[in-house]
Amino acid sequence: MRRGRGWRRIQWMNAELDTRRIAAEFALDGAITDVRTHGGGLINDTFLVTTANRQQVILQRLNTQVFPHPEWILDNLRALLDHAARQDSHDLQLPALCRARDGRDYVTDNEGGFWRALEFIPDTRSLATLGNPEQAHAVGLALARFHRLLHDLPVNRLHTTLPGFHITPGYLRHFDDVLQDSVTGHSIALRDALEFVEEHRELAGVLERARTSGQLVQRPTHGDPKLDNFLFNRDGGQVVALIDLDTVQPGLVQVDVADCLRSCCNRAGESPADLFAVRFDLDMAAAILRGYLGEAREFLDSTDSEHLYDAIRLIPFELGLRFLTDHFAGDVYFKVAQPGQNLLRARAQFRLTEDIERHEGALRRLIESLAAA
Ligand code: ADP
Ligand code: GN1
Ligand code: MG
């Protein structure tokens, strides 16, 4: 049956009413005056809620297909916030959890939805792309401050909220399974992407081999430090907060650094209008690494930095593989605005990987000189 515009409007109004009802279950200051969708994340649903007393909170429905135990996310967040509160001083704000009226810090709905609300950090902005190396330096510094804040939190205090996250060989196995069951015809774009994966199979295990042989250790990590999860002050000169803490779990700090670089140094974005515009911006990378490594001495040793280049090359490949798998699987994991977007995203990450490979010598020299400084 074809549904018209009127039907879609009713659906939208019902969804808005449901969201308001959920928001009202949190202990907010004043009556709710506005609820609107917010941000452009690919996994959860985010809303900005405003009350008559001008309180603002971020209300989120966590994606329970992706996070099998959403309550573990809150356990981790509490562990992280308590740990941060015990430090004498730290230079990074983290969003506090809002209580629900029943005293818990989450609300569930009748359809199995899992909701939580966070304090809105005011007077900030997130950037779509980095404007200059000073901003890049501020991002690197903030990520190092986050890692430093957490490095003495015993890693076994954290749940693994997302099993298999950033374990590249596991993504490759899943890709092979999905591809086997797929009936999609193979266009030139698809054939190129498949060929890229074939050429990079060996790369997939590079960090897992280092981890299982004991060269790299797991520590508390952010898991998703892409550019829009760094909140800048109004003039865009400093990072004041790091948000989107759902993937905080045991992992490799090298993966965080690499994920941050693949997001910040690709100024054409994740769904570029022109694939040929995708580049790895070496100047931005240098500024981020300078900010990060300058601050990270307390918890990084030389073996840690030796694996940085491998991680920087691996993570865009891994993300491309995840996007490509989702394209074959029917866009079941990453939200898309139109069909084919996950294929475009995959191709963009693969181009980024290629550009990183072109800069291998320069990147290795840069890391070595900054780590030795
Ligand atoms: P997602 O997991 O979907 O990426 P985020 O937690 O990153 O969701 O939130 C989406 C966007 O909402 C962010 O990029 C940011 O602009 C805004 N946002 C989220 N949390 C806060 C907060 N506590 N204070 C201010 N803005 C926030
Ligand atoms: C997802 O939730 P969001 O949009 O911040 C994904 C990340 C990817 C990112 C790519 C839990 O992050 O791993 O790098 O999309 N998060 C999860 O934009 O899978
Ligand atoms: Mg986000």
Quote the CATH superfamily of domain 125-372: Aminoglycoside phosphotransferase (APH), C-terminal lobe (3.90.1200.10)
User: Which ligand is closest to the CA of 46, given by its number?
Assistant: 1
Distances (CA, A) of 239 to 127, 194, 227, 243, 355: 11, 38, 11, 11, 27
Mutation probe of ligand 2 site: the residue of 38, 43, 165 with most atoms within 8 A of C-beta: 43
Nearest ligand to the CA atom of 98: 1
pTM metric for this prediction? 0.94
CATH T-level fold of 5-120: Phosphorylase Kinase; domain 1 (3.30.200)
Please report, for the chain, the start and end positions of each structural domain, with discontinuous segments joined by +.
5-120, 125-372
Burial bucket for residue 361 (CB in 10 Å: 0-12, 13-18, 19+): exposed
Q: What is the pLDDT of residues 84-113, one digit of tens each?
A: 999 876 689 999 999 999 999 999 998 889
Q: What is the pLDDT along the chain (373 residues), one digit of tens a residue?
A: 456 666 666 666 666 778 999 999 999 999 999 999 998 888 999 999 999 999 999 999 999 999 989 999 999 999 999 999 998 766 899 999 999 999 999 999 988 899 999 999 999 999 999 999 999 999 999 999 999 999 999 999 999 999 999 999 999 999 999 998 776 677 899 999 999 999 999 999 999 999 999 999 999 999 999 999 999 999 999 999 999 999 999 999 999 999 999 999 999 999 999 999 999 999 999 999 999 999 998 889 888 999 999 999 999 999 999 999 999 999 999 999 999 999 999 999 999 999 999 999 999 999 999 998 8
Q: How far is the CA of 371 from the centre of ligand 1 (A)?
A: 32
- Coil vs helix vs strand at 92: coil
The three-state secondary structure class of 115 is: strand
Instruction: Give the closest ligand to the alpha carbon of residue 126.
Output: 1
Q: pLDDT digits over 167-193, tens only?
A: 999 999 999 999 987 766 778 999 999
SS3 sequence, 305-346?
HHCHHHHHHHHHHHHHHHHHHHHHHCCCCCCCCCCCHHHHHH
Which one-letter amino acid corresponds to residue 152? D
CA of 188 to the centre of ligand 3 (A): 32
Helix, strand, or coil here: 259?
helix
User: What Cα–Cα distance (Å) separates residue 237 from each residue in 126, 334, 373?
Assistant: 11, 31, 25
- Residue with CA at minimum distance from ligand 2 atom 12: 42
Indicate whether residue 270 lines ligand 2 (CB < 6 A).
yes
**Ligand 1: nearest atom to the Cα of 119:** 23
d(CA 312, CA 356): 8
The closest residue, in CA terms, to atom 11 on ligand 1 is: 39
